[in-house]
Amino acid sequence: MSHDALIGRGLAEIDTPALVVDLDAMERNLALMASFAREHGVRLRPHAKMHKSAALAQLQMAAGAVGVCAQKTAEAECLAAAGVSDIFISNEVIAPAKLQRVALLARRLAEAGGQLSIAVDSVTGIERLAAACATADAEIDVFVEIDVGQHRCGVAPGAPALALARQIVQSPRLRFAGLQAYHGNAQHFRTAAERRAAIKRVAQEVAETVALIEGAGIAVALVTGAGTGTFALEAASGIYGELQAGSYLFMDADYARNEPDPAQPRFEHALFVKTQVMSVSATHVVCDAGHKSHAVDSGLPKVWNFGAAPTLEITGCSDESAVVKSLLGGSLPALGDKLWLVPGHCDPTVNLHDAMIGVRGGLQHGVVERIIKVDARGALG
Ligand SMILES: Cc1ncc(COP(=O)(O)O)c(C=O)c1O
């Protein structure tokens, strides 16, 4: 049955494996995050690399987000083509041909009343971006990315960030918009104390960098960053003006392993892989969802027990199947039984699917309400 033909039908009609969104849980997550940002006086710009869906980006903006982040040029192009008007590429782009696309997209979005902005961390990146903007007759807001501990992209805080800010200010068509300071590793520090200590240090470094740049006469209008693991800490820092959390909307199994922080709202799992048992033995059963259905980079999926303590666990995955064992010697499911898996990592899981099946009314008695297209699936360039 085609995805669209499922609309209005019960859960039993969803063939396996399938990526399913519990719409009620997702909307509760959406509302919780939107009200958190409102109450704390910070802008919310959720990361759309997580869901890659223009419809969900628009839902987030309708709930108060100022726009979304994208991580790749092609991702930004897909979201813009599907109607998303305010996109920040929170990542570096260096190939001149790609920067040409960035500049063209910036012009097109600006002409339509929207905007595109981008992060940089090199002299060459800024020179090439400025050249592309000149060719395309475009202007763009530019954030200097500083490395606050993830040791991925970004220049060191302090003088190197000031040097790039100066270069941007001196580049025609580029507007210095502020700093990006995202500590990806801290999102997954397991204890709340570790996350607090990390973001306290980060906030200090960011504050010193802001003071240095402003001391040189360049206004730092905005500091943007944060993810689902730490956003309450950045929001409380008084330094960050914008939160980029993405995974909160679906809440994967890896994030659920973080010790909760009372300062943060608790999100529910909203993304599931529906699977069924296709082979049984005395010791285990095998279901029909493997790592072509769900990413395993952040650990194997959890078998969802509808909020109760798990009774089954996935012990191994291959391309198209996963081995399921019983915890504590309990009974195993039978042939054809359906299971719901909570993926270890939502972003790369979504990227494996063309569409997500949105269910209203829960995973036991719900009905398919909508199909959510993964617009930017595979948009990696
Ligand atoms: C630059 C940047 N900002 C924000 C996020 C959002 O993080 P999360 O989906 O963990 O909330 C990410 C995710 O990797 C990221 O790379």
Average pLDDT for 338-355: 98
Distance 282 CA to ligand 1 centre (A): 42
Per-residue pLDDT of 289-310, as tens digits, reads 999 999 999 999 999 999 999 9
Residue 312's identity, in one-letter code, is L
Confidence of residue 330 (pLDDT cuts 50, 70, 90): confident
Nearest CA to ligand 1 atom 7: 227
Nearest CA to ligand 1 atom 4: 244
Residue 247 pLDDT > 90: yes
What is the DSSP code (8-state) at residue 332? P
Per-residue pLDDT of 33-54, as tens digits, reads 999 999 999 999 999 999 999 9
- The Cα 121–Cα 188 span in angstroms is 24
Average pLDDT for 74-79: 98
For residue 119, the ligand 1 atom closest to its alpha carbon is: 1
Strand stretches in 43-195, DSSP E = 43-44, 68-70, 86-89, 115-120, 140-145, 174-180
Confidence of residue 262 (pLDDT cuts 50, 70, 90): very high
Residue 329 pLDDT > 90: no
Distance 117 CA to ligand 1 centre (A): 16
Distance 298 CA to ligand 1 centre (A): 14
Give the per-residue pLDDT at 166: 98
Distance 366 CA to ligand 1 centre (A): 31
Distance 245 CA to ligand 1 centre (A): 6
Q: Are 332 and 324 in contact (CB under 8 A)?
A: yes
Confidence of residue 1 (pLDDT cuts 50, 70, 90): confident
Find, among 188, 276, 248, the residue nearest to 11 by Cα: 276
CA atoms within 13 A on the CB side of 89: 32
Q: How many residues does the chain have?
A: 381
Which residue ranges have their beta carbon within 6 Å of ligand 1?
A: 47, 50, 69, 90, 182, 184, 187, 227-228, 244-247
Per-residue pLDDT of 124-182, as tens digits, reads 999 999 999 999 999 999 999 999 999 999 999 999 999 999 999 999 999 999 999 99
Give the per-residue pLDDT at 6: 97
Nearest CA to ligand 1 atom 3: 244
Average pLDDT for 346-369: 97
- The Cα 170–Cα 131 span in angstroms is 13
Confidence of residue 328 (pLDDT cuts 50, 70, 90): confident
Q: Indicate the top mutation candidate among 47, 195, 264, 271 to test ligand 1's pocket, ranked by most ligand atoms within 8 A of CB.
A: 47
Burial of 66 (C-beta count, 10 Å sphere; 0-12/13-18/19+): middle
Q: What's the predicted TM-score (pTM) here?
A: 0.97
**Percent of the chain residues topping a pLDDT of 90:** 99
Average pLDDT for 188-193: 98
Arithmetic mean of pLDDT over the chain: 97
